[in-house]
Chains A and B, each alone.
Chain A
């Protein structure tokens, strides 16, 4: 049932925007890893492979009608939650956390697809859920269960960053659906003792240190506060014009941690200055607003919810990563979409974009 209109309505702007950001990302990864004496394929080349893989997945994600997602949503949700249980039981432990599942020829990290799956599941749930004048506390019961199961499993791994992201995505969709003020206040009041308990019983020492160091990084400038301080110095010393491509002293002398992955933006900030940063922030803002626009123009509620969810996913990744790099948020391992080196993030983000393209090009069909 191929329809000509699908091609004429293809959202070239969105794809172009994403590829532009990715291209800048590759150039930046080249600079960030220029001082690494690495053997084998250079990182920036590997990143290009990931972009190609991502685009292919993106094409797959937009080729089938997204309404299919609605039918399979609960099955997929159940499957991924099952994998999360399996990973806790049989997963591979690395650096004290159990996140990966070995499937012989390849490994999967089921907490990552959960980001997309929670979007689809919530969209499916609220598409059929009557809302009059906002959700009440009682209405929130089922969504809380749908969200709670995977989030608790992910926290158990433990992978605090992903757990927070999945929660933020879900909350953003709730905001779109609309929640009554009374319910919001009640949830916040209920959450306070949970946070208190979490700090004392759940968080590991290194995670507490990150939060303490975010509040007062100078307490331990060479220990765990090091990342925040070095990153701020890198960003700030870039000034208006930046130090120039390959000329950032902070990055080329490797003062920065994980400078091609989580801290890629701080390398960029140092070398391209405020002007470069302004460009990146504008590009990302444009991406987010474009995503919301797709949600608005979509004629059915499921698609609209889906678009809001995917946009929220991109938005929170961008804001948390940039905020971390410039010292607004504590250090959590969240990559910058299309910009940080890494296949996992690239694949998730591209699939998200594929869903957005899918919704965008089918907007006239209903």
Chain B
């Protein structure tokens, strides 16, 4: 090696290695000195401390904050759940105890033994949970037979109580034990394995507020780890409560309006963006997720083709169908391409190049103006308008309403839908836009996708003539002492900048949809309050001929968006019935029923007197009310 001379030349390396050896030895000597100090000089003192080292920490879980509706009615709270624990240090006869427990609790002996064995390696004071969630009867029975159960302890911990069962399950979400991926997140750095956290919905997105702070007990144990006494106790801090914008009664009515049909509905205050009802049907039972769910139950959720676990109101993206004509119409008016009087002759189809685009009414609508085109949902009118506007101009107006992006309602994983443009297609598929693709977009088909929340916001913005309020679900956060920590006031996201005259022209059409003869939305009509709206039927797949029996998953979606009262709008609603086939037939009556419930509650529509109700009306009796009958009576089919 070329540098070897360098090493040999002087005794330097040898001296330096020697120096390093001395330094290392000195360092180890320092360690030994410290060990000498601790283990010999201080040994007695520290041994004493280890003998008295009896302070152990037992965490106590904090009860989660409650979730209330806008009127202060409890939607989710906590209730005590009782578990049976065995404290090994206090058990005298293990086998006899396990025999008794298996008889009292009706549990398998082997299962109990297994749990005992798993907890064995721990300190003797540490309770081993052998059964959780026991019934009140079992609890009483154990209490009565305490004498023969030395070493058995009943532990109480708070669990989520869903006082309204499956109501608003998707909105509320459910709890579950924290998993490994979650433990890795910064947000959960203070959590311990075994803690319960929100897994979806409000419970997840507002976890930070709801969780509270765990407390704990400092206990003293003896040298063998047996419990002696509690030294100090820190009480857990209850989580903050959330007051939602949801109206519990309206939520109930909204969910019941669906019957057994799959779909979603969002009801919104037109002048604040507060979401009054947020429903996804069918629901599920959130309490099953934090407790024990049978495999059969799980399987039935998974195999139901109506997808009960899916939050359709938040994550469902549907072609808006004819409800989107509202946007196309506004774009046409604003761009000066049409006015209220301009007409189109609908022959039942429209040709662009070699393609023929059909109107839903094969016979054609004849000569129609804007109002008539909206009322009868004439496709040809909007094909023509859409062709003149071009896709980018339609998209620009859709964006003015906040479509194509999540609205920020305060739940995680909110979807944003799709509003196609020429550039969007270029970027997504690397292909150019064909003129013929604009026509389906004009009637809310093709690439267009929207969520129920977006549709509700869109129609609310039409109703108030141009102000987009942020749709939100939480009204305020309240601490355990009842003090308001944060209030969520209505927030204006943007204004559309569209002329009031254009809105009025479209709204006249929307009024006609529900209230005039040949209107497609007649089934949403209320006689006490003026309702306006738009129906939509959106294709799931293109079918060559619409004859015969179409399989469920290929049937069209039915939509209805609307608001009321027409003259002074308060409430907007968007309803989608998955595979409901016709907006006017399937979605409009559901929307009508929801709006009726809203005005009944406000006292504007008199509630029909229910014959069966001799007893006083309470919340838990609602299920039994024969609502379906009332509805049919009140909404007559058009013509």
Residues of A within 8 A of B (CB): 34-37, 39, 92-96, 127-128, 130, 172, 175-176, 178, 222, 230, 232-240, 249-250, 253-255, 269-270, 273-274, 277-278, 281, 284-285, 288-289, 292-293, 295-296, 299-302, 304, 308, 315, 319, 322-323, 326-328, 366
Are A233 and B50 in contact, CB atoms less than 8 angstroms apart?
Answer: yes
Asked if B189 is an interface residue, CB under 8 A from chain A, the answer is: yes
Contacts of B27 in A (CB 8 A): 315, 319
Sample of 19 more A-B contacts, CB < 8 Å, known A240-B39, A326-B38 = A93-B185, A233-B46, A233-B49, A235-B35, A236-B42, A236-B43, A237-B47, A249-B50, A253-B123, A274-B36, A285-B25, A296-B17, A300-B1, A300-B3, A301-B6, A304-B7, A308-B20, A328-B30, A366-B1
Q: Is the CB of A277 within 8 A of B39?
A: yes
Asked whether B35 lies within 8 Å of A176 as measured between CB atoms, the reply is no
Residues of A within 8 Å of B21, CB to CB, are: 289, 292
A273: chain B residues within 8 A (beta carbon): 39
With both chains docked as a complex, state the minimum distance between the C-beta of A128 and any C-beta of chain B, in angstroms. Answer: 7
- Chain A facing B: main interface SS: helix
Cβ contact within 8 Å between A295 and B4: no
Docked Cα-Cα span, A125 to B396, in Å, equals: 62
Contact of A236 among B38, B123, B184, B186 (CB under 8 A): B38
Residues from 40 to 73 in B contacting A, C-beta threshold 8 Å: 40, 42-43, 45-47, 49-51, 53, 55, 57
Q: Would you call A240 and B24 a contact (CB within 8 A)?
A: no
Q: Which one, B113-121, B351-359, B460-468, B501-509, is touching chain A? A: B113-121
Cβ B121 vs Cβ A95 within 8 A: no
A167, B609: Cα distance in complex, Å: 83
A contact residues around B53 at 8 Å (CB):
230, 233, 249-250, 255
Pairwise interchain contact A281-B45, C-beta atoms closer than 8 A: no
* Among B20, B47, B184, contact of A292 (Cβ-Cβ < 8 Å): B20
Min Cβ gap B182→A in Å is 12
Q: Which residues of A contact B120 (CB under 8 A)?
A: 37
Closest CB in chain A relative to B20 CB, distance in Å: 6
> For residue A281, which residues in chain B have a CB less than 8 angstroms away from its CB?
28, 31-32, 35
In the complex, chain B residues whose CB is within 8 Å of the CB of A255: 53
Residue B14 is within 8 A (CB to CB) of chain A in the complex = yes
Alpha-carbon gap, A94 to B185, bound state (A)? 7
Cβ–Cβ contact A239 & B39, under 8 A: yes
Which chain B residue shows the least CB distance to A177?
Answer: B16
User: For A127, what are the chain B residues with a Cβ–Cβ distance below 8 Å?
Assistant: 3
Answer whether residue B367 sits at the interface, using C-beta atoms and an 8 A cutoff: no
Q: Which of A128, A238, A289 contacts B39 (CB 8 A)?
A: A238
Can you list 12 contacts pairing A with B, beta carbon distance less than 8 Å? A34-B121, A130-B6, A233-B53, A270-B50, A274-B40, A277-B32, A281-B32, A285-B28, A289-B25, A308-B17, A326-B38, A328-B30
Number of A-B contacts (CB under 8 A): 151
Collect the chain A residues with CB atoms within 8 Å of residue B47's CB. Answer: 236-237, 239
List residues of chain A with CB within 8 A of the CB of B24.
285, 288-289, 292, 315
Annotate B185-202 by CB proximity to A: 1 below 8 A, 0 otherwise: 110010000000000000
Residue in B closest to A226 when the chains form the complex, CB atoms: B57
Cβ contacts under 8 Å, A302 to chain B: 1
**A278 near B32: Cβ-Cβ < 8 Å:** yes
Residue B218 interfacial (CB < 8 Å): yes
Residue of A nearest to B232 (CB): A222
CB distance from A218 to the nearest CB of B (A): 12
B223/A232 in contact, CB under 8 A: no
Distance of A253 Cα from B49 Cα, bound (Å): 14
Q: How far is the CA of A292 from the CA of B35 in the complex (A)?
A: 25
**Bound CA–CA A36/B126 (angstroms):** 13
The reply to whether B35 and A269 form a contact with Cβ atoms under 8 Å apart is yes
Instruction: Check B13 for interface membership: any CB of A closer than 8 A.
Output: yes
Q: Is B446 an interface residue (CB 8 A)?
A: no
